[in-house]
Amino acid sequence: MNTLTNLSGKTALITGGSRGIGAAVVRRFAQDGVAVAFTYASSEQKARALADRIQTSGGVSLAINADSGDPEAVKAAVAQAAGRFGRIDILVNNAGILNLGALDDYSLAAFDQMIAVNVRAAFVAVQAALPHMAVGGRIINTGSVTADRAGFPGTSVYAMTKGALAALTRGLARDLGPRGITVNLVQPGPTETDMNASEEMRATVRPLMALGRMGTDAEIASLVAYLAGPEASFITGSAITIDGGYLA
């Protein structure tokens, strides 16, 4: 258990928790004594394996199949997590997709899907979780440094969704502050996950980092865990960049 975050006994729901940053958050929370529910869309084998590892280690986990592009599925996932744990102390809106493409032939279907998964799903999850969240609740959204710097051609729609998520975070912080619930955004820079699996992409990005390397999913999870803990109780409405100096 990590004494800095002091999350033992808390409950959490993480969307998009079967791989990448989401899975790292699930593992970190479980390590810190949190009962974790997490959603997955297509990576059932990875989701089951992760849930089994947590259970075998003495933790509490629940893997829920839910497509974040489907608002009813998101609501059902929240209801299932709350039904299992009795409440939701921490909500991490991590599910996201990356559809890159040239503007000239970027389809409206891809545009709508990006908004549905990267923005609408977070709003739906927050709205559904609120009846199960008390004073001291934590909502943490996973954004991206592309909200501040698109960086490369073909990222316009993705960057737009992450900018929208940053604005939503600020508004939610105002709405939920009177209820004693904080809402913050974590903005990772280039991170070693399967979303950035191409070695060509990684080789292009590394020289742009002040530290000369990409981040790890565990490093992002450590920031999420801090924001979920009691020492972050006066942080809300913030977009916190964790990017190895990419934006420096």
Identified catalytic residue from 40, 106, 158, 246:
158
Q: What residues contact residue 205 under an 8 Å CB cut-off, 6+ apart?
A: 190, 196, 214, 246
What's the CA gap between 122 and 139, in Å, rounded? Answer: 10
The helix-helix angle for 156-176 and 121-129 (nearest 10°) equals: 20
What is the spatial order of strands in the sheet that 182-188 belongs to? 61-65, 35-40, 11-14, 90-93, 138-142, 182-188, 239-242
**Alpha-carbon gap, residue 37 to 25, rounded angstroms:** 11
CB atoms within 10 A of CB 155: 18
Q: Is the dihedral of CA 8, 13, 18, 19 positive or negative?
A: negative
Q: Is position 40 annotated as part of the catalytic site? A: no
**Residues classed as catalytic:** 158
